[in-house]
Amino acid sequence: MTFCGFVCYDINMEFIYKGKTKDIYKDGANYVLKFKDTVTGHPSGESDPGGNVVIGEVAGVAKNALKVTKYYFELLQQKGIASHYISCDLDAMTLTVMPAKTIGKGCEFIMRYVATGSFVRRFGDYCTDGQILAKPIYEITLKDDKRDDPPVTGKILRALGLATKEEKTEMKKLTKEICAIVKEDLAKRGVDLWDIKIELGKVDGKIVLIDEISAGNMRGYKAGKKLSYDELSELF
């Protein structure tokens, strides 16, 4: 059986959802994320891994995203960080995961170490691109394409009924731990991590890491030069 060029290895595989960068299938009690070579960006046509529209396809994007995701999920697993990760098949470009619930319709959790990107667009009167922040900044955004992923606070999540006080505390703690591990690992490769975003959700009621961690989730610099998606991916 074939779905969108994906040969299912289980006759019971059920198509669930078509996303911008990956499609989702149900395989028994678990789910399979099929990574795609689609590139996201802005309506202007500008490429941006964090963009809200698909602007084209580039061969190899899916495999790069998946190999970095596999590396970090397995590294974090070794360090005792819980996630929905089960296994990865680089040839089929699939990630098998446990069923997880998103926070609302999805939230992204961000750690900023250097001012850049949307942070400078918002606070450009007070910082410049590349300015090291006096203290790393923790942010949360809602995954909402129509509203350009609005930022929220832990208190807002709690007020909207999307997280309890305890969950809010755990989300911040887990985000800082995960991002610190990635930052340290990249530093060993000579890369300075400027910012990174991850997604958290719930597995059996517990807050865990979900989705992916790839070059599209972060900005890294090496020897003073910003690494492209491909350059960052090729380090793994």
Q: Per residue in 135-152, pLDDT tens?
A: 999 999 999 988 989 999
Q: 3-state SS of the chain: helix, strand, coil percent to 5?
A: 30, 35, 35
Digit-coded pLDDT (tens) for 174-201: 999 999 999 999 999 999 999 999 999 9
CATH number at residue 52: 3.30.200.20
Q: What is the pLDDT of residue 18?
A: 87
150-167 per-position pLDDT tens digit: 999 999 999 999 999 999
Phi, psi of 111 (to 5 degrees): -120, 125
Statement to judge: residues 51 and 139 lie in one domain? no
CA dihedral 168→166→213→133, nearest 10 degrees, is 50
pTM of the model: 0.89
Same domain, 74 and 128: no
Residue 20 belongs to domain spanning? 2-99
Work out how many domains the chain is built from and give that number.
2
Please give the average per-residue pLDDT across 114-124, as a whole number.
95
Q: Is the pLDDT of residue 51 over 90?
A: no
CA angle 50, 231, 177 (to 5 degrees): 60
